[in-house]
């Protein structure tokens, strides 16, 4: 009987952590153009919020290509975001969006306790770009 209670407790803990990982993933990815606009559809106000982030990061401070890709969600998302910014008349710097004709080449995963972490990779004209690690699911003790 104790083993059954222990197994049920462990299963509930894993389920709780995995579902929180999903919520974390949604929170992390809601600030990119790919998720907000290309996947779900977005309002001009949501695009304005992304542009404010772009302006703060890139126009005011100068940013790397990885930061532009992060805002776009993917290289293709960043290019779509650029076109949307232009349609709305927002200021952009063309140099921030150079060399984004990229191809997805894969993902890496690893298990950290009960959370599966993923990192996406793209081959771009200048080099291979990679996303930051993000929570993409659940796993159990090192096996995904």
CB atoms within 10 A of CB 77: 23
Place of tokens 């600030």: 31
How far apart are the C-alpha atoms of 17 and 15, rounded to whole Å?
6
Share of the chain above pLDDT 90, in %: 28
CB atoms within 10 A of CB 133: 14
pLDDT in tens, 26-51: 333 347 888 888 878 889 899 999 99
How far apart are the C-alpha atoms of 72 and 54, rounded to whole Å?
10
pLDDT in tens, 85-113: 999 999 999 899 987 888 889 999 999 88
CB atoms within 10 A of CB 122: 19
């Amino acid at each position: 009987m104790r083993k059954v209670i222990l197994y049920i407790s462990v299963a509930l803990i894993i389920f709780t952590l995995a579902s929180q990982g999903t919520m974390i993933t949604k929170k992390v990815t809601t600030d990119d153009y790919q998720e907000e606009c290309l996947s779900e559809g977005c309002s001009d106000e949501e695009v304005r919020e992304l542009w404010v982030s772009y302006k703060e990061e890139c126009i005011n401070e100068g940013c790397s290509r990885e930061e532009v890709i992060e805002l776009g969600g993917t290289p293709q998302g960043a290019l779509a975001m650029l076109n949307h910014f232009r349609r709305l008349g927002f200021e952009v710097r063309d140099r921030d969006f150079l060399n984004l004709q990229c191809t997805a080449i894969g993902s890496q995963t690893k298990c950290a306790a009960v959370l599966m972490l993923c990192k996406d990779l793209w081959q771009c004209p200048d080099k291979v770009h990679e996303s930051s690690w993000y929570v993409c699911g659940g796993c159990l003790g090192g096996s995904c």
